[in-house]
Amino acid sequence: MTAPFRHTKIIATLGPATEGEAMLGRLLDAGVDVLRLNMAHATHDWTRAVIRRIREVSARQGREVAVMMDIKGPEIRTGTLPAPLALREGDPLDLVVDPAAPARPGVPAVPVNYPGLVHDVPVGAAVLVDNGLLRFHVEAKDAARLTCRTLVAGELGSRRHINLPGVRVSLPSFTEKDRADTLVGIEAGIDFLALSFVRAAEDLEALRRFLEERRSRARIIAKIEDQSAITNLEAIIEASDGLMVARGDLGIECPFEELPVIQRRAIRACLARGRPVIVATHMLESMITQPVPTRAEITDVAHAVFEQADAVMLSGETTVGRYPVECVRMLDGIARRIERETAGEEGAGAAFTGERMKVLHAAVTLARQIPGARLVTFTRHGFMAQGLAALRPGAAPILAFTPAIGLLRQLRLLRGVEPHLLELSVDPNDTVTRALAFLRRSGRAASGDKLVIATDIVAEDRRVDSVQLRTLA
């Protein structure tokens, strides 16, 4: 191939630092596979404009990338304050859900945007504010307020995010804002929809019905961010098209020492079920302001690659950071180095139950046994490419040909898959011949290379699965 192949995919979040046409082109050149839009901070006009720009830059550079819309889901925040509150350990504080309720003398009252807070949160619970920088203990409650005591001091400002570890809130998983944002995404042709704060499989099923009713082919990524999601992890994976280990809120909702265990467990569960998995948040956080990452961040990224995650994701690093392109290049370099280290390892892959998966397993086994082999497949709906990717075929890249540009973009997320656009002929031999000619012409393969071809063709109204070994002439 023209360059060493990177199996791990890179997701970059767009923002003020990267939304321009020139910077988008640089991100694509650096190797970004998926561009994420964080709807917690995006307007509808901006969303339409930036998706249009992504498609134009992708077409011009001949590298179609996927667009992931990340809707923010249920969110509990403090209200607007006239000035920040300086709180010391032991200070009282009221979290108020009824703006008409009289304030207690000498006790600061902070409004909260969720009326059900008093109902959901029991006395004795912990309330974490501003990404856990402030911590409160609920000592009492009435119909209008939670009466709290400050455990961790700090300054409390307006519209700060509230976390309630271990508390099941009654907020809907798919809010009215999410519905409005999703409709804009469907209209603009998004490829993935990430749902925040997924707590159970039912949350995803409701979203899937919403998409199907509107004939959207966007695939659903479940973000696990609280303890309910961990409890229901396997059912959530089954109901989703992929999983995101969103370590920001997850690291607040769960004890810190549990976070690496949860990440490892989530990745393994996704691998076993053949679902793509993304590791996100704080991958290269220091590079928001610094040109190089910390050694711990390098090791963190490497750990995700060692565990065979499909993708690693950048957030603030590419939305507001000073070095967005350098961040992408850093992920690219770390991933390539770790993949060289693990190239000979078989690794964990999906269970190959079912006849079609057993055929794909045979193709993967053959490719592993032939040094330098490439896997080639053809797919209209994504099953062949996703099945091969789920089996984690070691060093062998998966060259997937599809006639659908929307599917091509979605295949960008899968570990080890390099998708290409190709019309599939009614004559399978013609399709294979044209695909091999493309690989030779584009430098993806050269004379003498070994190609393991996995196909499922329709012959006389029957599907015929096959595995071929060819030497490129």
Residues labelled as active-site residues: 36, 77, 223, 281
Is 184 within 8 Å of 44 (Cβ atoms)?
Answer: yes
Listed in order, strand segments (DSSP E) in 228-357 are 242-246, 277-280, 311-314
Is 140 within 8 Å of 113 (Cβ atoms)?
Answer: no
Phi, psi (5° rounding) for residue 167?
-100, 130
Distances (CA, A) of 409 to 8, 58, 128, 266, 418: 15, 11, 38, 24, 10
Please give the full DSSP string across 392-448, using - where no structure is assigned: --TT--EEEEES-HHHHHHHTTSTTEEEEE-PPPSSHHHHHHHHHHHHHHHTSS-TT
What six digits make up the tokens of 81?
């304050």
Contacts for 4 with CB less than 8 Å, ≥ 6 apart: 336, 340
Contacts for 311 with CB less than 8 Å, ≥ 6 apart: 8, 9, 10, 11, 33, 34, 276, 277, 278, 279, 413, 415
Pick from 408, 248, 364, 243: which is nearest to 311 by CA? 243
Is 310 within 8 Å of 276 (Cβ atoms)?
Answer: yes
